[in-house]
Chains A and B, each alone.
Chain A
Amino acid sequence: MAETAPISADFAPWEAPDAKPIIQFKNVTKRFGDFTAIDDLTIDIFPQEFFSLLGPSGCGKTTMMRMLAGFESPTEGTILLDGQDIAPVPPNKRAVNMMFQSYALFPHLSVSDNIAFGLKRDGLSKDKIADRVEEMLKLVQLSQFASRKPHQISGGQRQRVALARSLAKAPKLLLLDEPLGALDKKLRQETQFELMDIQEKTGTTFVIVTHDQEEAMTVSSRVAVMDHGKIIQVATPQQIYEEPNSVYVADFIGDVNIIRGTAKRADGDHVHITFAADHAPLIAATKRDIAEGSEVALAIRPEKIAISTEKPEDRNNAIQGKVLDIAYLGNISTYHVELPGGAVVKAQTANTRRVHRRSFTWDDSVWLSWTDTAGAVLVE
């Protein structure tokens, strides 16, 4: 299934100066009474992207999607689809289809009638509709369930019917509202790859709303991390993870250690961060322009921190600490280590050996170390 890379390595229209976006939000604001759901938001989404809107509930991601579908209209600003303002276009006239979180399958219609529903509204001939339904059923591998009613199939199958129904009209843009939220974890992971595969096959632009960061990381070409109606960062999953632009993003995606301190310019791309009075400053590489003496946060992922009994010589940063706690997760273990200043840092190692043979345990004194490029220097 995953043998075709869903997003080829050089797919990056957002970096091409002449690429034409399929969707443009231009200074869009949406208010519900006193509540501002979307706050002066500007973003371009390009054809064939798998674009994720990620954020906690109430961050405005669903409102953005509903504005694209036509169920809400912006209070201020414009939304362009293929260069055209879509504000005056009602939902039934938009070349946009949506897959609902609850799937919203019509309970009184069979699987194939559900898929045919939108096609019938287009006034296609019976044969054409039947062919297209057949094609869609094959795409989602549900041909043998064509005549079942939605309540006669399992949750995972319903999810695929909903997908087939929303793709049947070959929309320019497919909106997916928490498409995998109702599935259990294993099925969700399988379905993520299926989604990517289908997106690749159909070449449709997908905009997906999710609060599951792992899902966003897996499927997306780009992720927009949102908070309080604003986009905090838009970037590829790798950039979001490795080079977050704020503590919020670093903290939202995956596990992270935040070490706060005062920055001091060092040579070239490096800064020194003083985090405790009695400890040598940490060295970190950054391309950002950091003002002398400003308060910064160093964000380091636990898996980028090595843990050892001896002080390593080849890494720029090494701190001695005491093991407070060990979380054993099977494939990996997370060590909670207390630093001299009292801060607790998490370090992760793969359990390549059996647990009873590991070299440190509770209350052991250990060295934590990382390189100058391991973390991201963030200004708040």
Chain B
Amino acid sequence: MRRLSWFNTVSLTLGFAFLYIPMIILVIYSFNAGKLVTVWTGFSTKWYGELFQNEAFLNAAWVTLKVAVISSTFATVLGTMAAYVMVRGGRFYGRTLFSGMIYAPLVMPEVITGLSLLLLFIAIGLDRGTLTIVLAHTTFSMCYVSVVVSSRLVTFDRSLEEAALDLGCTPFDAFKSVTLPIIAPAVISGWLLAFTLSLDDLVIASFTSGPSSTTLPIKIFSAVRLGVSPEINALSSIMIGIVAFGVITTSLMSKRAITRRQAEENKAVQ
């Protein structure tokens, strides 16, 4: 291993301090015994205990999870279909316009997306609740999925699909048994992206949620307005833990898959 120069060490330290000190402080204070967030009075895990007693938080967590799973699944199906047509559909009339329009929601301010969805739901008389949040989240996260999937499809060797057709597959069969298994990693990362986007969305959810369906970010935000309680710290720490676990496992898994594949390729050449 190479030693870093002092300049690189300082840059690295500064950068990471900037990124992680706020989170570290949050985690530390979640173990604070006292009720005041900024005064350390001793170590305790009681806020974690209280969190699991708090019906409102648990309810919100359940709604959030439900919304995230359902909306990211819908978004993945729609986003993959859209990406497939954009990359594979050839040069049909209005293609450039359509592919531009698929990506537009990426740069659209969330407030506007939220507001327009709210207006739509009112106009068609849909009562706001879990369903409307799912619809809203599907809408804004499908374009992220389609970006991820289409970047994979662009590099996909088209002759694989042609080979499948040549061997007797119908176009749908070829997609199902050749294209989909090969682009599966991109589809899964699209799903994960949609899932995390849905998990931490506050703005769009607050426009489209109803009284019976509060998501966790909304709940935290409204709780904080009444003053930050250590309970929130505990909740946030758990969320950080879950996300960190997910990120670390997926990166380890993909790294292991790459090393294994390289080893197999070396074996094959011998």
Establish whether residues A97 and B264, one from each chain, have CB atoms under 8 Å apart when the complex forms: no
* Cβ-neighbour of B269 out of A102, A107, A154, A169 (below 8 A): A154
Establish whether residues B166 and A92, one from each chain, have CB atoms under 8 Å apart when the complex forms: yes
A residues within 8 A CB of B173? 121
Residue with the greatest number of chain B CB neighbours at <10 A, chosen from A92, A107, A148: A92
Within 8 A of A (CB), among B158-177: 159-160, 162-170, 173
Distance in angstroms from B52 CB to nearest chain A CB is 43
A70 to B167, CA, bound (A): 12
Establish whether residues B182 and A100, one from each chain, have CB atoms under 8 Å apart when the complex forms: no
Contact with B along A165-186 (1 / 0, CB 8 A): 1100100000000000000000
Residue with the greatest number of chain A CB neighbours at <10 A, chosen from B164, B167, B168: B167
Establish whether residues B163 and A152, one from each chain, have CB atoms under 8 Å apart when the complex forms: no
B residues within 8 A CB of A106? 160, 163-164, 178, 182
CB-CB nearest in chain B for A150: B268
Contact with B along A116-155 (1 / 0, CB 8 A): 0110011000000000000000000000000011011110
Establish whether residues A91 and B178, one from each chain, have CB atoms under 8 Å apart when the complex forms: no
Establish whether residues A100 and B159, one from each chain, have CB atoms under 8 Å apart when the complex forms: yes
| Chain B, interface residues (CB within 8 Å), range | 20 to 34
A240 at the interface (CB under 8 A from B): no
Chain A interface residue count, CB cutoff 8 Å, equals: 30
B55 at the interface (CB under 8 A from A): no
Residue with the greatest number of chain A CB neighbours at <10 A, chosen from B168, B169, B181: B168
B residues within 8 A CB of A165? 163, 167
Establish whether residues B261 and A102, one from each chain, have CB atoms under 8 Å apart when the complex forms: no
* Cβ-neighbour of B268 out of A104, A121, A152 (below 8 A): A152
Contact with B along A63-104 (1 / 0, CB 8 A): 000000111000000000000000000111100111011101
Establish whether residues B267 and A152, one from each chain, have CB atoms under 8 Å apart when the complex forms: yes
Establish whether residues B182 and A117, one from each chain, have CB atoms under 8 Å apart when the complex forms: no
A108 at the interface (CB under 8 A from B): yes
A264 to B170, CA, bound (A): 63
* Cβ-neighbour of B168 out of A92, A98, A148, A151 (below 8 A): A92
Supposing A100-B162, A100-B163 touch, asked if A151 and B268 sit within 8 A by C-beta, the answer is yes
Within 8 A of A (CB), among B253-270: 261, 264-265, 267-269
A142 to B231, CA, bound (A): 64
The 22 sampled A-B contact pairs (Cβ below 8 Å) are: A69-B162, A69-B166, A70-B166, A71-B162, A92-B165, A92-B166, A92-B170, A98-B162, A101-B159, A102-B159, A104-B157, A104-B160, A106-B160, A107-B182, A108-B181, A121-B167, A121-B169, A121-B173, A149-B264, A151-B264, A153-B268, A166-B166
Q: A102-B157, A104-B157, A104-B159 are in contact. List 11 more A-B contacts (CB 8 A).
A: A69-B162, A70-B166, A71-B162, A98-B162, A102-B159, A104-B162, A104-B163, A118-B166, A118-B167, A165-B163, A165-B167
Residues on A close to B: CB < 8 A?
69-71, 90-93, 96-98, 100-102, 104, 106-108, 117-118, 121-122, 148-149, 151-154, 165-166, 169
Which 3 A-B residue pairs are closest in the complex by CB-CB distance? A121-B168, A118-B167, A104-B163
